């Protein structure tokens, strides 16, 4: 199996030149080991160890993530979008698998009528499809979740500070030191008044057609999906553009696709310096690579 399944988390320890990896089977490194590997003092090593322990506990012991109820949409719309999306997903998947582009085009036209915001819906599958999205650099070493949500909201001209998104009412990032993926759909739906339109799914298989089916539904409706990648330190497997080969758990919002073969995304670690010095604000990656990278992560679409 490629990797231990994670719900999702972004842990970008900016002072680190050599990442310490914690999985459900690992033990948290000692203070001395962290000081040596990260070339930091004892105080910073204690902070790093504390965060690694919290991350390990979150995944290994299934930390509680209480359900949050999305407010009723402002429009009063009570459509069961989750069921509707599953139907579209199944049909799109078959079309992608069979390379039946006529069927794909027909299904995508139906997405206009199904979109909660028809003014923004505009399916285009044989050419590049991009939606306008602002770039925001994450405000600290574990805020890729709030940054990704802020960028996704900017598509709809909603501008929310990352610290507000990170508070206990929304993503709980500040309290937990990581972002539970389940709260991304809740937060997006709440701010956009969408009921249950955005849905959250863990990804336990490498499936390019399934990945493209899901982002097609969201992007053609005029909204931005958010994926949680789990990049390993192996040198013979895909990685995010501009990143070096190290273990990384990271949220990125997707703002477009091109000819069914790849996607455009924004990366909030751009501009952080250090090992992130080569990361661009926006990048294109093949659907093959991105579907691999989210295997063991999640998608909110």
CATH code for the domain of 133: 3.90.70.10
Answer yes or no: is 137 within a domain. Answer: yes
Q: What is the pLDDT of residue 10?
A: 52
Q: How many CB atoms lie within 10 A of CB 20?
A: 19
Q: What is the pLDDT of residue 131?
A: 93
Answer yes or no: is 170 within a domain. Answer: yes
**Over 60: is that where the pLDDT of 213 sits?**
yes
Candidate from 1-10, 40-49, 181-190, 196-205 with smallest mean pLDDT: 1-10
Q: What is the pLDDT of residue 23?
A: 34
Each residue's pLDDT tens digit, 52-90: 677 667 656 566 667 777 765 555 555 778 888 888 899
Residue in the block written with tokens 């602002």? 134
Answer yes or no: is 73 within a domain. Answer: no
Instruction: Indicate the number of domains in the chain.
Output: 1
**Over 60: is that where the pLDDT of 159 sits?**
yes
Q: What is the pLDDT of residue 27?
A: 65
Residue in the block written with tokens 């698998």? 97
Answer yes or no: is 51 within a domain. Answer: no
Answer yes or no: is 266 within a domain. Answer: yes
* Cβ atoms of residues 198 and 189 within 8 Å: yes
Answer yes or no: is 196 within a domain. Answer: yes
Query: Quick check: pTM over 0.85?
Result: no
CA 254 to chain centroid: 8
* Cβ atoms of residues 222 and 121 within 8 Å: yes
Q: What is the pLDDT of residue 191?
A: 95
Q: What is the pLDDT of residue 121?
A: 57
- The domain of 262 spans 81-300
Answer yes or no: is 40 within a domain. Answer: no
More confident residue, 174 or 159: 159
Assign 156 to helix, strand or coil. coil
Answer yes or no: is 26 within a domain. Answer: no
If pLDDT is split at 50, 70 and 90, which confidence band does 249 have?
confident
Assign 276 to helix, strand or coil. helix
- As a whole number of angstroms, the distance between CA 10 and CA 143 comes to 7
């Amino acid at each position: 199996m490629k990797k231990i399944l994670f719900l999702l988390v972004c842990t970008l320890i900016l002072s680190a030149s050599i990442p310490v990896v914690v999985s459900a089977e690992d033990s948290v490194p000692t203070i001395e080991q962290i000081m040596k590997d990260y070339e930091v003092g004892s105080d910073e090593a204690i902070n790093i160890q504390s965060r690694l322990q919290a991350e390990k506990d979150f995944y290994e012991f299934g930390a509680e993530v209480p359900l949050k109820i999305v407010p009723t949409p402002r429009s009063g719309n009570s459509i069961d979008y989750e069921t509707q999306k599953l139907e579209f997903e199944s049909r799109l998947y078959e079309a992608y698998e069979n390379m039946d582009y006529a069927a794909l085009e027909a299904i995508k036209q139906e997405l206009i009528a199904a979109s909660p915001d028809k003014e923004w819906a505009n399916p285009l599958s044989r050419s590049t499809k991009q939606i306008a999205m602002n770039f925001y650099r994450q405000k600290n070493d574990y805020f890729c979740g709030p940054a990704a949500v802020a960028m996704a909201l900017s598509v709809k001209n909603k501008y929310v500070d990352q610290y507000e998104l990170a508070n206990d009412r929304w993503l709980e990032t500040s309290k937990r030191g990581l972002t539970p993926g389940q709260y991304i759909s809740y937060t997006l739906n709440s701010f956009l008044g969408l009921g249950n339109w955005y849905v959250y799914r863990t990804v336990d298989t490498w499936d390019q057609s399934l990945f493209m089916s899901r982002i097609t539904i969201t992007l053609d409706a005029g909204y931005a999906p958010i994926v949680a990648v789990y990049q390993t330190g192996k040198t013979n497997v895909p990685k995010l553009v501009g990143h070096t080969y190290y273990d990384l758990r990271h949220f990125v919002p997707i703002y477009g696709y091109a000819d069914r073969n790849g996607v455009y995304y924004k990366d909030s670690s751009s501009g952080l310096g250090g090992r992130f010095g080569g990361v661009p604000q926006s990048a294109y990656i093949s659907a093959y690579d991105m579907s691999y990278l989210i295997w063991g992560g999640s998608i909110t679409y």
